[in-house]
């Protein structure tokens, strides 16, 4: 049996409707300057709003959709409201799973009030979810992570949060030892059923979601935008036997791997809305095919075509490129 799972990231939905100017008397001041200059119109909301049709029954009709953070630009309620409508149009909690990115906790207020979780808790709890569990997730903030969610028999997703509030012009990420310890504990508690089609089937595919990337980048990015405890995450991924690590944060797509007893594919789909064709930047998402016995067997990229007004198939050699890359860690 195979599962086809779409990976989206970095939607950066911008919506300033009804926002008081007072909300920009903090780190958002530098964010707005960036949006009005280098990133002006770089993430058209119309592309984000085309994703439900691309992934739905009339499109690719994938089994599940994973979104690895940065649904917003400035962690404003208006942005989360619009992004939530897009997520809901893609599918309910049985079809979509989300985690936050650093832009989703852009200010101390957004992080303190668990604003991201208040909007997206429905998509971050195991199924079937009790109302009490959803309400607890809404107010838990960072304490909610990691969460585990079975999205198909034998396929389990673990959602981490590397999103932390950082100073202006800084985009660090950090998980922390408690979150990694909890991840190990969740894996140890996985169901051990023997019937492959049953809800309690033994897990054969572990997909870990995190916003920040694992590969090393430029001198500046390493000092301002890295995952500060990536080595600890790499060790944990090897120890739990992760099939794949899916990330966002880097807007160009990435393909890497970890080497251990069995390989862990490390894939970043790039931003699913970043469109500046004159600079060669096309909005991306990936569709991954997981097999019960063989693990991740295929990964294809889709890119936005302005001429067609829709996403079209692009590279289908992502796993080959990952296999050819220098191992991480």
Look at 49-63, 199-213, 304-318 and tell me which has the smallest mean pLDDT: 199-213
| Res. 31 pLDDT band, cuts 50 70 90 | low
C-alpha 4/C-alpha 290 separation (Å) is 6
Q: What is the pLDDT of residue 92?
A: 96
Q: What pLDDT does 18 receive? A: 61
pLDDT, tens digit, 9 for 90 and up, residues 230-287: 999 999 999 999 999 999 999 999 999 998 878 899 999 999 999 987 777 899 999 9
Q: What is the reported pLDDT for 59?
A: 94
The pLDDT of residue 265 is: 97
| Residue/partner pairs of 253-256 with CB below 8 Å, 24 or more apart | 253/284, 253/286, 253/301, 253/318, 254/213, 254/215, 255/299, 255/318, 255/319, 255/321, 255/322, 255/325, 256/214, 256/215, 256/322, 256/325, 256/327, 256/328
Q: What is the average pLDDT across 125-141?
A: 92
Task: Write out pLDDT tens, residues 101-113.
Answer: 999 998 888 999 9
The DSSP code for 180 is: H
* pTM of the shown model: 0.93
pLDDT of the residue at 213 = 98
Is the model's pLDDT at 20 over the cut of 60?
A: no
Query: What are the residue boundaries of the structural domains of the chain, listed by start?
Result: 2-324
Which alpha helices (H) appear in the chain, and where do they start and end?
28-36, 45-48, 51-55, 77-90, 108-112, 115-120, 131-140, 177-188, 219-224, 230-240, 318-324
The predicted pLDDT at position 26 comes to 61
The pLDDT of residue 34: 62
Four-CA torsion 168, 219, 214, 8, nearest 10 degrees: 60
Per-residue pLDDT, 201: 78
Statement: residue 96 has pLDDT above 70: yes
pLDDT at 53 exceeding the cut of 70: yes
pLDDT class of 126 with cuts at 50, 70, 90 = very high
pLDDT at position 8 over 80: yes
Domain 2-324, what architecture? Answer: 4-Layer Sandwich (3.60)
**Across 284-307, average pLDDT:** 95
């Amino acid at each position: 049996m195979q599962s086809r799972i779409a990976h989206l990231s970095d939607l950066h939905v911008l919506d300033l409707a009804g926002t008081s100017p007072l909300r920009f008397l903090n780190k958002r001041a530098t964010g707005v300057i960036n949006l009005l200059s280098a990133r002006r119109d770089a993430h058209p909301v119309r592309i984000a709003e085309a994703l439900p049709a691309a992934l739905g029954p009339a499109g690719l009709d994938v089994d599940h959709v994973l979104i690895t953070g940065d649904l917003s630009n400035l962690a404003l309620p208006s942005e989360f409201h619009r992004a939530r409508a897009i997520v809901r149009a893609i599918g309910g909690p049985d079809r979509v799973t989300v985690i936050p990115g650093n832009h989703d906790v852009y200010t101390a207020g957004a992080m303190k009030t668990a604003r991201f979780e208040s909007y997206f808790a429905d998509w971050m709890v195991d199924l079937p979810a009790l109302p009490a569990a959803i309400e607890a997730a809404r107010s838990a903030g960072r304490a909610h992570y990691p969460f585990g969610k079975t999205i198909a028999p034998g396929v389990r997703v673990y959602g981490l949060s590397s999103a932390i509030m950082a100073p202006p012009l800084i985009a660090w990420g950090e998980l922390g030892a408690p979150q990694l310890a909890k991840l190990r504990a969740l894996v140890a508690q996985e169901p051990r059923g023997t019937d492959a089609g049953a809800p309690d089937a033994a897990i054969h595919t572990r997909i870990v979601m995190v916003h920040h990337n694992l590969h090393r980048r430029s001198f500046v990015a390493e000092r301002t935008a890295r995952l500060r405890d990536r080595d600890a995450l790499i060790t944990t991924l090897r120890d739990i036997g992760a099939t794949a690590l899916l990330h966002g944060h880097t807007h160009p797509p990435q393909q890497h791997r970890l080497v251990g007893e069995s390989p862990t594919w490390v894939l970043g789909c790039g931003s699913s809305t970043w469109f500046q064709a004159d600079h060669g930047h096309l909005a991306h998402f990936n569709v991954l095919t997981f097999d019960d016995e063989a693990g991740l067997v295929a990964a294809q990229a889709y890119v936005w075509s302005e001429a067609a007004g829709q996403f079209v198939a692009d590279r289908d050699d992502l796993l080959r490129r990952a296999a050819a890359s220098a191992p991480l860690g």
